[in-house]
Each structure stands twice: as structure tokens, then as C-alpha cells.
Amino acid sequence: MSKPTRKLIETLKGKPQAVPPVWLMRQAGRYLPEYRATRAKAGGFLDLCYNPALAAEVTLQPIRRYGFDAAILFADILLVPDALGQPLGFYEGEGPKLSPIRSTAELASLKPDATRPKFSLVFETVARLRQDLPHDTTLIGFCGAPWTVATYMVAGGGSSDQADARGWAYRDPAGFQALIDLLTDVSVDYLSGQVQAGADVLQIFDTWAGSLPDTEFARWVTAPTKLMVSKLKAKHPDVPIIAFPRGAGQQAARFVRETGVDGLSCDTSTPVDAMAGLAATTCVQGNLDPLLLVAGGDAMDARVDSLKQALAGRPYIFNLGHGIVPQTPPENVGRLVDRLRKTA
Ligand code: CP3
């Protein structure tokens, strides 16, 4: 049996499409009433992530509603520290909390050989999804990039400036490198397991890449991503990899060149003409403002049209510049997809 053509994969291989494939970061989530109902049934957010039947269900919800070209596995970037033995909690209105790891000595509490029980639950979700999804819907597996995951592990949660991780990296680069190396290895293992379970494409989220100056960006963002890409390509040469180095700005082109990623997810602040320039060497993805999706209406339609037009004839995946926010009216998402697919 021949493999079905998946438009999003073709695009990642460099083939422009008349209508760009579309999916949205955080397409499963609180803006959907059916997500809120399933999460309540699961107990909490983490119970949902580790329940393969319900995690698969919330992954499928936005596919049923909108027919996106890709589904993204429902999980979280912080399952990696959780599986390593740094227990994670999510509290209403407070976001994630972990007990912080601040020194090389404390790294010993992380157990890279003990991730299997939790990772297996995620792999089971992937396997169910590949069975249940329409054949022409791409399944995206993901993880957080080592730098971004480290910022949460070191601060013990979210922070506005990532000061704790930056401080450690300046004070004790060798010690911080040990954390980054550990995360790089575990993340490769985790993504490789997702591919073996059925993921077609991988995305690496580096939400806080933009908080580093150039030399640190090279060491903590580009270098670990490059290593992950080369290890993953050695195992799975046909699986495209998208990176989201949010805030990379002027360093984006170099990041793409040095890491060898197949796709670059561009944040909202990336100018459209810069995206068109980047699309000469890589597939680009993005970058509608998530708040324009909240506003909807003619303003949203106009921006959808201008992105589509500016990137026509280039390898381009339509997406947001960051994740969907909870106050998004679900009907605006439907309107966006219709607008994009309408051939004008
Ligand atoms: O639909 C999808 O995109 C797939 C699932 C997914 C989630 N998180 C589910 C989630 C993905 C790909 C992520 C990535 C993620 N998680 C990132 C990187 C991308 C980004 O948005 O910058 C980061 C930094 C995290 C860490 C995280 N998870 C935080 C800081 C929070 C709290 C903030 C919030 O939005 O509540 C989460 C929670 C989270 N992850 C939710 C979802 C649907 C909301 C949880 C809920 O139901 O209450």
C-alpha cells in the first residue's frame, strides 16, 4: 500500500502548495468547550496528558471541527522534567510549578533512565492517534527545546525574564551544560519514541530562545537543537523537523543554516518579507497574531489574505505566531480556515 500524500509533509520537503496547509499551535485547549469537558472528566491537566484515550480524544477534537491538515499530539513540554523525576504540578491561574534545580549537585536527582513509564503513556497516545486520524492528516510529535525546558526547571515554573537559568549559565557554564546535555539526550529519546509510535513530523518548541544574547543563543539554543536534529536524522532520515525559536529575530537565518531543520516556525514579530526571504532556504510556518484570531472579522481576513499572498509560491505552512489563547471564539477559527482555503 502506498503512503497517503500528506500536504504538510510535501510542503516541509520544499514543495509550495496552491493553498498552504494549516494547523494552529495550541489548537486543542481551553477555547473549546469539548476540551474543557474532557479535561474535567480526566481530573486535571496532567491526568489528561497521561491518559492515552482522553489525550487522543482532545487531539482529535479540533481536527473534527476544522479539518486541519495536521494534528499535534496533546501533551506538554514539561512532561520531560516530570518523567525525569522533577515532579510537576499545574495550578489554576498559576501555571506550572516544579521544585527548582539550581546546581550541578541537584542534577543528581534527575533520573534519565526512569522516564519509560511516563513516556510510554505518551507513545500510546501517538499510536492511537495514528490509527484514528484520517490518513491525509499529518501527526506532529513535539518536545520543548533543552534551553526552554531548562528555564522552567531552574526557576521552578514560568518566569518573565528567565533570570535563574541565565544566571546559572553565566556563573557556571560547565554545570549548566550538563543539564542541557542531559535534556538533549532525553529529548532525542522521547522524540524518537514518538516517531516509532507513529508521529510523521516533529516540532521543537523554544519559547524563550529570544531571551539570550548572540553568543549564548549559539551555545544554548542553536548547538543543542543542531545536535538533536543530527541524532534524529540519523535514526529517522525521512521525518521532517520544525523548530520554533521564538524571538530569534535576526539570528533566524543562521539558526536554520546551522541546525539543519526542515521548517522554521516564525513568531508574530517576524516581518512577512523576512519570512519570504527565509522561505528561499527553508519551509516557513506562521505567524498570525493570536490576538487577531480573538478579534476576528475583516481585520483577521485581511491578514490571512496578505500572508497567503506574500508567501504564495513558497513552501509555507499557515499557523499563528504563538499559541491560541483561551478567550478565542471557536467560530473565528472556522472563519480563518474557510478564508484561507477559499480559492480567490
Ligand atoms: O494543542 C497543542 O498545541 C498541543 C499541546 C501543547 C500544550 N502545551 C498543551 C497545554 C503544546 C505543544 C504545549 C507546548 C508548551 N507548553 C510550551 C511551548 C509553546 C508555547 O506556548 O510557548 C510551553 C512553554 C508549555 C508550558 C506550559 N504549559 C505553560 C507555561 C502552561 C500554563 C499556561 C497556560 O496556557 O495555561 C501550560 C499549560 C497547557 N499546556 C495547557 C494546554 C492545553 C492549558 C492547561 C489547561 O487545560 O488548563
Please choose from 22, 23, 64, 76 the residue to mutate so as to test ligand 1's pocket, defined by most ligand atoms within 8 A of CB.
Answer: 76
Residue located nearest, by CA, to atom 20 of ligand 1:
207
What's the pLDDT at 267? 98
Give yes or no for residue 2 having a pLDDT over 50: no
pTM (2 d.p.) = 0.97
User: What digits encode the pLDDT tens for the residues 202-231?
Assistant: 999 999 999 999 999 999 999 999 999 999
Name the active-site residue from 66, 152, 190, 316. 152
User: What digits encode the pLDDT tens for the residues 170-198?
Assistant: 999 999 999 999 999 999 999 999 999 99
Report residue 1's pLDDT band, with 50, 70 and 90 as the boundaries.
very low
For residue 20, which amino acid is it? P
130 is catalytic: no
For ligand 1, the distance from its centroid to the CA atom of residue 26, given in whole angstroms, is: 7
Give the ligand 1 atom nearest the CA of 72: 4
Q: What integer is the mean pLDDT of 137-148? A: 98
User: What digits encode the pLDDT tens for the residues 230-275?
Assistant: 999 999 999 999 999 999 999 999 999 999 999 999 999 999 999 9
Report residue 92's pLDDT band, with 50, 70 and 90 as the boundaries.
confident
Contact (CB, 8 A) for 81 and 151: no
- Mean pLDDT over each residue of the chain, to the nearest integer: 97
For ligand 1, the distance from its centroid to the CA atom of residue 242, given in whole angstroms, is: 17
Closest by alpha carbon to 315, among 13, 16, 70, 20? 16
User: What digits encode the pLDDT tens for the residues 58-86?
Assistant: 999 999 999 999 999 999 999 999 999 99
Report residue 4's pLDDT band, with 50, 70 and 90 as the boundaries.
low
Strand partners, 285: 265, 317
76 is catalytic: yes
Q: In Å, what is the CA distance from 315 to each residue of 276, 282, 288?
A: 9, 7, 17
Any long-range contacts for 2-10 (C-beta under 8 Å, 24+ apart)? 4/135, 4/136, 5/136, 6/69, 6/136, 6/137, 6/138, 6/200, 7/69, 7/136, 7/138, 8/69, 8/70, 8/138, 8/201, 8/317, 9/138, 9/200, 9/201, 9/240
What's the pLDDT at 166? 98
Contact (CB, 8 A) for 188 and 228: yes
Query: 3-state DSSP call for residue 97?
Result: strand
Give the ligand 1 atom nearest the CA of 326: 35
What value, to the nearest 5°, has the Cα angle with vertex 134 and ends 13 and 341? 65
Q: How far apart are CA 287 and CA 304, in angstroms?
A: 10
Closest by alpha carbon to 182, among 127, 101, 249? 101
Q: Which strand ranges, in their side-by-side order, compose the sheet holding 201-206?
A: 70-72, 138-144, 201-206, 241-245, 263-265, 283-288, 316-320
Give the ligand 1 atom nearest the CA of 73: 4
99: which residues sit within 8 A by CB, 6+ positions away? 86, 87, 156
First to last CA, the chain: 35
Name the active-site residue from 30, 36, 102, 339. 30
Residue 2 C-beta-side C-alpha neighbours within 13 Å: 3
